[in-house]
Chain A
Amino acid sequence: EPEVTQTPSHQVTQMGQEVILRCVPISNHLYFYWYRQILGQKVEFLVSFYNNEISEKSEIFDDQFSVERPDGSNFTLKIRSTKLEDSAMYFCASSEASGRNEQYFGPGTRLTVT
């Protein structure tokens, strides 16, 4: 069965550094999402992406964040200058078409900012 994959599984970075989290959504899916979960807290929506543009972003998704679908298969989340509070589990998700189709989640990337 097709799966959403994410790399790396764990990333450690120093405060102020740039990180890129990578996701490969399921191949025929059209809607893409990033969520994050700070340890012990709820999973929070960051951004949704459709037709090569952001369709919605949360207030968390400030100018330090960007997303890209560089080659038709990967979907990336970039954090330009990481802060300690960016430490979290980041989940990528994709869905086939309109909203009635459920989202399929990747296993997550644990980002640790030191």
Chain B
Amino acid sequence: AQTVTQSQPEMSVQEAETVTLSCTYDTSENNYYLFWYKQPPSRQMILVIRQEAYKQQNATENRFSVNFQKAAKSFSLKISDSQLGDTAMYFCAFMKTPGTYKYIFGTGTRLKVLA
């Protein structure tokens, strides 16, 4: 069975600084996707970034990038130039493929961006 671990329950960062959120996972699968979702207070989860396991290149979306280390089963999220609107709960998720495409989530990291 797959597991996802986020070892940082809470983090804070000063506005405009860079922060890295950690995620590790355990699987024997070779084909899978990894995701970071953001859940702002009282709002729904939205996708931040996605990584296909077969791609060696790390995914990047504007200020968000990942460090995907397949052998180490690590998938960290880096947020550059942090903004107040980045304050949210961040969830790491694993999905094997092919399959029923269910997500396995980590416990989340609560990020607070300080002015």
Q: Which residues A77-114 have CB closer than 8 A to chain B?
A: 91, 95, 98-100, 102-108
Q: How far is the CB of B91 from chain A (nearest CB, A)?
A: 7
Cβ–Cβ contact A102 & B47, under 8 A? yes
Q: Mark B39-74, 1 if CB is under 8 A from A, else 0.
A: 000111111001010000000000000000000000
Cβ–Cβ contact B101 & A105, under 8 A? no
Q: How far is the CB of B61 from chain A (nearest CB, A)?
A: 12
Rounded to whole angstroms, the CA-CA distance of A41 and B95 in the bound complex is 19
Contacts of A103 in B (CB 8 A): 101, 103
Contacts of B107 in A (CB 8 A): 41-42
Contacts of B99 in A (CB 8 A): 56, 99
Given A99, A105, A107, which contacts B95 in the complex, CB threshold below 8 Å? A99
Cβ–Cβ contact B106 & A42, under 8 A? yes
Rounded to whole angstroms, the CA-CA distance of A42 and B35 in the bound complex is 15
Q: Mark A33-60, 1 if CB is under 8 A from B, else 0.
A: 1010000011111001010000110000
Cβ–Cβ contact A108 & B105, under 8 A? no
Rounded to whole angstroms, the CA-CA distance of A33 and B91 in the bound complex is 17
Cβ–Cβ contact B44 & A108, under 8 A? yes
Rounded to whole angstroms, the CA-CA distance of A28 and B102 in the bound complex is 19
Given known contacts A102-B35, A102-B50, A48 and B44 CB-to-CB distance under 8 angstroms: no
Residue A31, interface by CB 8 Å: yes
- The residue in chain B whose Cβ has the minimal distance to the Cβ of A42 is B107
- The residue in chain A whose Cβ has the minimal distance to the Cβ of B50 is A102
Further contacts, 15 of them, CB under 8 A, given A3-B44, A98-B97, A100-B33:
A33-B102, A33-B103, A35-B103, A41-B107, A42-B105, A42-B107, A45-B104, A48-B100, A56-B100, A98-B98, A100-B52, A102-B35, A102-B47, A105-B37, A105-B45
